[in-house]
Chain A
Amino acid sequence: MTVIEAQNVSKRYIIDHKKGNAKSNTFREVITDTFRNIFTKGEDDEVEHEDFWALKDVSFKIEQGDRVGVVGSNGAGKSTLLKVLSRITEPTQGKITIKGRVASLLEVGTGFHPELSGRENIFLNGAILGMKRDEIKKHFDAIVDFAGVEKFLDTPVKRYSSGMYVRLGFAISAHLEPEIMIVDEVLAVGDADFQRKCLGKMKDASTSGRTILFVSHNLTAVQGLCNKAMYMQKGQLIQMGETNLIMSNYLSQIQKTDLQVTYTNQSEAPGNDRVRLKSVKLVPNYLDNQNHLDVRTSFKIQIEFWNYMDQANLNISLHINSLTGECIFNIGTPSIKFDKGIISAECEIPNDFLNDGSYSLSFMIVKDTASVIYNFEEALIFEIEDYREGTVWYGKWPGYVRPKIEFPIMQLEYENAI
């Protein structure tokens, strides 16, 4: 059954620009401009109106029980879409039909009043989110327990730590029982432990047959929670479909860093009169249906350079560095005697080795295993995306490497229940 149907939904905002240099900067200009505006009433000649379409012709259907992740870069219209769906603002054009009770969670702790106690705020926030008093009463203990604020129930929330505030806010919304739930980037708060709790709760909600619309920049969470995804760009819906497909399209779109650098003209290539870089390439061995690098992808690093020295003992020392510049590992080729010409080297970085993150690749050409001829720093920068299965934890996986090492676990003894 289709629970949400959007037909050609558009939302326009009108932005005002002041024309030319009409911007008043100084106090004197502000005064004179103000008087001029009063007397000439010339608002139209001073201000230019520009239409800005935050959403443009967005159409989609969402079936009951779907968990839809909305992805896209900043300004893609994700939040506007959620606002229109939650009836906070109306669309300029188009029509949306929604079947069922909607709860929208665009912020944690909406309407919390700083002067009121935790207890009072639970009822206030619950009512704002559309819960009945009885429902809140029914879940009250669970909410308090989930948030872990028993001791501070009668303290005004203005005295809460920001963590407690957020936990209480999320705990209330986690106990909503609507048929359709609209969630905006609210999980990017709290510590790792709490985030895990939240995502676990979302997963529970999703398995109970509820329809969820979820905006997040935590792509791992979207991948883990959602069975469908919408990819938005500049107010338009680019693609909607099965999560993995949409995610890989989206990621390949944002993974715009070049995976190779090639120089055809020797005079422009970096280096010196003894060696010059010809090319450095990162060649991924994509899995089926994959078009971006993630932790499962193995890849080759290929380096070619021009050597202008005769009978030189050369090797390459390659560094992979983290974004903060720490060296993660360093490998070297054997040192071999070469003549003038083009030298090539290749190595393969295995899958399930580097963790997700941004990395830079630097390498040195070394003569006689000791003297550095040239150091090519940050010759390539690449990103590895996250991928995981079989977990409800979507926080950042720690560490620079993520090897898949066999780690069996088993029950050794059974305790006799008698």
Chain B
Amino acid sequence: MQETVIEAGRSEKHYWADIIRFRELLWILAVRDITVRYKQTMIGVAWAIVRPVMTVLVFVFAFHKVAKISDTSGIDFKIIVFTGVIFWNFFAAAFQQVSNSITGNANLVSKVYFPRLLMPLSSIAVPLLDFLVGFIVLVPFLIYSGISIDYHILFVPVFLFFAFMAALSLGIIFASLNVQYRDFQQIVPLIVQYGFFICPVAYSTSSIKDLSWYPFYTWLNPLASIIEGFRWCLIPNYPYFTWNSFLPTILFVCLTTIIAIVFFRKRENSFVDFI
């Protein structure tokens, strides 16, 4: 028979086993978010295509047509923006959903026990689905634009994984802080907004390669190489990504993951007292 010991500050031995045991709940929470997402809409999941396409059109209009900016890499501006937006949207949405996942499920936190980590995990389902839908539209677009996609596309899951982990771990840290201080609810949209410009979403790193601090760029912004890596998978001979420049990202993601887990586990038992 299963024996549970409840004690102050006791780190549950069965925690990770519990997560496996509750995997059905994880699945159901994810399905819930997805089902609810497009309820009472007319075009449903097509919104996952409309939103990034509109963003791309506005950017192409504002920067390319009005401000006459072209990407210095010589690659079609539309392609740079489309790839960037699809991938950034995934990261941004995942980060936002995760950081709101605990406060958004306050009714569950205060009424029932399950490993709290399920809430941030399940909340990534919607952004992930949106990304997949967007990706399915992106690939034909690239082919139509004359890009010959090669075997590099097989590396997409690698970059998706790192984006996933980065969004999850950063989101978890913010989610735990958000429970006690709702200030973080205000900060998250700002981070996402600034991140859009700081990261090479609507431009490629070729635009900044002449700057004096360019060699440290990937260390300063570990997220940049995930996006550039994604472009590298889709655009043949894309020159602004090397596996060396990916090293800071790997280190960064490992570090934030460890911090996130330790931080979250330490606080999750008292979430209900602050929520």
Chain A residues at the B interface, C-beta cutoff of 8 Å: 13, 83-102, 104, 106-107, 110-111, 113, 115-116, 120, 123-124, 127-130, 132-133, 156, 179
* A-contact 0/1 string along B34-58, CB 8 Å cutoff: 0110011000000000000000000
Interchain CB contact (< 8 A) of A89 among B28, B29, B35, B272? B272
Q: Are A84 and B24 in contact (CB under 8 A)?
A: no
**Given A90-B9, A133-B24, A100–B270 Cβ distance below 8 Å?**
no
Q: Are B24 and A91 in contact (CB under 8 A)?
A: no
Closest residue to A120 on the B side, CB-wise? Answer: B35
Q: Are B270 and A86 in contact (CB under 8 A)?
A: no
Please, which residues of chain A bring their CB within 8 A of the CB of B273? Answer: 13, 89
Chain B residues at the A interface, C-beta cutoff of 8 Å: 1-10, 22, 24-25, 28-29, 32, 35-36, 39-40, 105, 107-114, 269-270, 272-273
**Given A90-B9, A132-B24, A124–B270 Cβ distance below 8 Å?**
no
A-B contact pairs, 29 of them (CB 8 A): A13-B273, A84-B6, A88-B109, A88-B111, A90-B7, A90-B8, A90-B270, A91-B7, A91-B8, A93-B8, A95-B7, A97-B6, A98-B4, A98-B6, A99-B3, A99-B4, A100-B2, A102-B4, A107-B111, A110-B111, A111-B107, A111-B111, A115-B40, A116-B39, A123-B28, A124-B29, A128-B114, A129-B112, A130-B25
Closest residue to B271 on the A side, CB-wise? Answer: A89
Q: How far is the CA of A120 from the CA of B270 in the complex (A)?
A: 30
Q: Are A128 and B269 in contact (CB under 8 A)?
A: no
Please, which residues of chain B bring their CB within 8 A of the CB of A127? Answer: 24-25, 28-29
**Given A92-B8, A99-B1, A110-B107, A124–B113 Cβ distance below 8 Å?**
no
Q: Are B35 and A86 in contact (CB under 8 A)?
A: no
Please, which residues of chain B bring their CB within 8 A of the CB of A113? Answer: 32, 36
Please, which residues of chain B bring their CB within 8 A of the CB of A84? Answer: 6
Q: How far is the CA of A240 from the CA of B171 in the complex (A)?
A: 46
Please, which residues of chain A bring their CB within 8 A of the CB of B272? Answer: 83, 88-89
Please, which residues of chain A bring their CB within 8 A of the CB of B107? Answer: 110-111
Q: Are A86 and B113 in contact (CB under 8 A)?
A: yes
Please, which residues of chain A bring their CB within 8 A of the CB of B35? Answer: 115-116, 120
Q: Are A88 and B32 in contact (CB under 8 A)?
A: no
- Report A160 CB to chain B, min CB distance, Å: 15
**Given A91-B6, A115-B40, A129-B112, A100–B1 Cβ distance below 8 Å?**
yes
Q: How far is the CA of A90 from the CA of B168 in the complex (A)?
A: 25
Interchain CB contact (< 8 A) of A99 among B2, B7, B40? B2
Closest residue to B4 on the A side, CB-wise? Answer: A98
Please, which residues of chain B bring their CB within 8 A of the CB of A132? Answer: 24
Closest residue to A179 on the B side, CB-wise? Answer: B1
Q: How far is the CA of A120 from the CA of B35 in the complex (A)?
A: 10
**Given A113-B36, A115-B39, A127-B28, A87–B2 Cβ distance below 8 Å?**
no
Q: Are A88 and B112 in contact (CB under 8 A)?
A: yes
Q: How far is the CA of A281 from the CA of B272 in the complex (A)?
A: 50
Q: How far is the CA of A99 from the CA of B112 in the complex (A)?
A: 18
| 6 A-B pairs closest in CB distance | A87-B113, A96-B6, A90-B269, A127-B28, A127-B25, A98-B4
